Every structure is written in C-alpha cells, then in structure tokens.
C-alpha cells in the first residue's frame, strides 16, 4: 500500500497534498508524461477550469490503461500558465480530488506557475508518478 504522510518536523501542507509519499517494493513505478486539456478527438477544452478537469480525466484514463487508478498516485506535478489561472485550476480540482481522495490522503504534489506551456492555448499541464501493484 502506498504510504503518504506529513511529519510534524515541518509545518502542515498549505493545500491538497502530502509532504511525503512512498511506494512498496512490489509496486511498479509508472511515470506519466504531462497531460493537458485535450480531448480524445484532439480538441482542447476551452478554459483553465475545463482544461484542468480534462487533463485529470486523461491522467485517470492512462492510469486505468496501466491497471491502476488515482489511488496509486505517488507524486503529481502541475504547471499553470499564469497566476490568473490559479483559481480556475483549483476549482477544477476540488470536486475531482474529493472523489479521488475522499479520506484526504493526497499524493505528494508540486505546483508551479510558468510564463507559458507548449502552445499559447494550453493553460495547464499535469505530470504524475504512480505505483501500480504487481504482486
């Protein structure tokens, strides 16, 4: 079972994440490339909130294809193109994270604001590392 925790040696997290996460030896590490708000047909979701939802749906689809799910996420890394999109990104994750992590046992997560991503219409990108049981 993936272990996630927040030792009392530093302050508590300021968001929906854990400071530490580890994977057992009988799990295969899966490194997931950055996912953006593109749909299966190649069209892009319209705004930062819908791109956030779509990027996470893409992430969930890749996890399922590898035999896992959001509960197997160890680490996430989110890039947002501009601080003006942060409220929409957070709004896009709230309901999703409540569904994925109902016990608030969130994976380790980093968020960075960048000047831009691969194209001007891409407002968010999410990378992840998962640990899939293979025992």
Q: Write the pLDDT tens digit of every residue in 61-76.
A: 999 999 999 999 999 9
Burial of 54 (0-12, 13-18, 19+ CB in 10 A): buried
Is pLDDT of 17 > 80?
Answer: yes
* Per-residue pLDDT at 134: 87
**Distance in angstroms (rounded) separating the CA atoms of residues 61 and 94:** 19
Of the chain, the percentage scoring pLDDT greater than 90 comes to 96
Q: Tokens 């593109």 appear where?
A: 38
The pLDDT value recorded for residue 1 is 86
Report angle CA 83, 89, 95 to the nearest 5 degrees: 155
* Per-residue pLDDT tens digits for 82-118: 999 999 999 999 999 999 999 999 999 999 999 999 9
In this prediction, residue 65 carries a pLDDT of 97
Q: 22-42, pLDDT tens digit by residue? A: 999 999 999 999 999 999 999
């Amino acid at each position: 079972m993936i272990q996630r925790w927040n030792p009392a040696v530093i302050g508590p997290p300021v968001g929906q994440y854990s400071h530490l996460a580890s994977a057992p030896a009988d799990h295969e590490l899966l490194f997931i490339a950055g996912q953006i708000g593109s749909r299966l047909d190649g069209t892009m979701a319209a705004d930062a909130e819908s791109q956030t939802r779509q990027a996470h749906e893409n992430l969930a689809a890749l996890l399922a294809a590898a035999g896992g799910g959001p509960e197997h996420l160890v680490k996430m890394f989110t890039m947002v193109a501009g601080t003006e999109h942060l409220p929409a990104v957070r709004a896009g994750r709230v309901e999703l994270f409540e569904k994925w992590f109902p016990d608030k046992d969130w994976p380790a997560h980093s968020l960075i604001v960048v000047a831009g991503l691969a194209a001007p219409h891409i407002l968010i990108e999410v990378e992840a590392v998962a640990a899939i049981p293979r025992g």
